[in-house]
Amino acid sequence: MNSLVAGSTGLVGSLLIDELLESNSRVNAICRNKLPSHHEALTYHDINFDDKSTYQNLFEGVSDAFICLGSTIKKAGSQEAFRKIDVDYCFSIASVASDAKVPHLSIVTSVGADPKSKNFYLRCKGEIEDKISQLNFESIAIYRPGLLIGNRQDRRVAETIGQIVQPILIDPFLRGSASKFRSVRASDLAKSLVKNSGKNQGKKIYHFEDFLRL
C-alpha cells in the first residue's frame, strides 16, 4: 500500500500514520510545515493548501488517500475560515486524488453530518461528504465519529472535560440507534481507517459500532 495522509499532525492523522507504517505502507504526509520523519517509509511534505501545484505530484502511485483534516470554528477564527479548511481544502485534496486515479479515499467527518443541518459545523461536514461523493473513486469510506478520546497537541478545554465525563456518565445510556453518538477512541478510529480502506466498492459510511469491529 502507498498512502497519502492529509491532516497528518492532528490526533487521528498522527495515529493513522503509525498504523499505516505498522502495516508496511509507504506514507506521504502533507502538512503546513516541514517536519522530520521518524521512519524511512514516511515523508512529510510542507504544502500550500491554497495552491494545488504544491501537492499534485504527491499522489503518483498512491493507492489509498486519507483526509483527516479539520479544525474548530474557535481555532479557525471564523465560520468562513473554518469552512475553507473543512470543506474547500478537503475537497481540493480529494479532487486532486480523483484526477490522479487514486482508487480509494477515506475521510473523517462527524456524527450528525448533514448538508441541511441548522448547525453550521454539521452542515459543513455534510456538505463535504456530498461533494466528495460526486468524485470518481472505486471506494469512498466516510467516518462519522462522536467525541474523540485521545491526547491532542492543541488542548481544547471543553473537549478535555468531555473526554472525562462522557465515557462514564453518558455513553452507557447511548444504546441502539443512539450508540453512534458514543465517544470513540482515536486509536480505534485510526485502526478502522487502515483496515477498511478499499474494503468495499462504492460509498460506505462508518459509525461508532463499526470502529470496534477490528
Query: Using one digit for the tens of pLDDT, what is the confidence trace for 46-96?
Result: 999 999 999 999 999 999 999 999 888 888 889 999 999 999 999 999 999
Residue 121 annotated as catalytic: yes
Answer yes or no: 125 catalytic: yes
Q: What is the pLDDT of residues 125-171, one digit of tens each?
A: 999 999 999 999 999 999 999 988 887 666 565 556 566 666 666 76
Q: Which residue has the higher pLDDT, 2 or 172?
A: 2
Q: pLDDT for 174-201, tens place per residue?
A: 777 777 778 888 999 999 999 999 888 9
Q: What is the dihedral of CA 144, 150, 152, 155, to 10 degrees?
A: 100
Query: In angstroms, what CA-CA distances link 175 with 34, 161, 184?
Result: 43, 22, 14
Please give the pLDDT value at position 121. Answer: 94
Complete domains list, the chain, with CATH: 2-211 (3.40.50.720)
Q: Please pick, among 44, 55, 121, 143, the residue that the annotation labels catalytic.
A: 121
Catalytic member of 125, 143, 180, 191:
125
DSSP H helical ranges for the chain: 11-22, 73-76, 79-83, 90-99, 120-133, 157-165, 186-196, 208-211
Burial 7-42 (b: 16+ CB within 10 A, else e): bbbbbbbbbbbbbbbeeebbbbbbbeeeeeeeeeeb
pTM value is 0.91
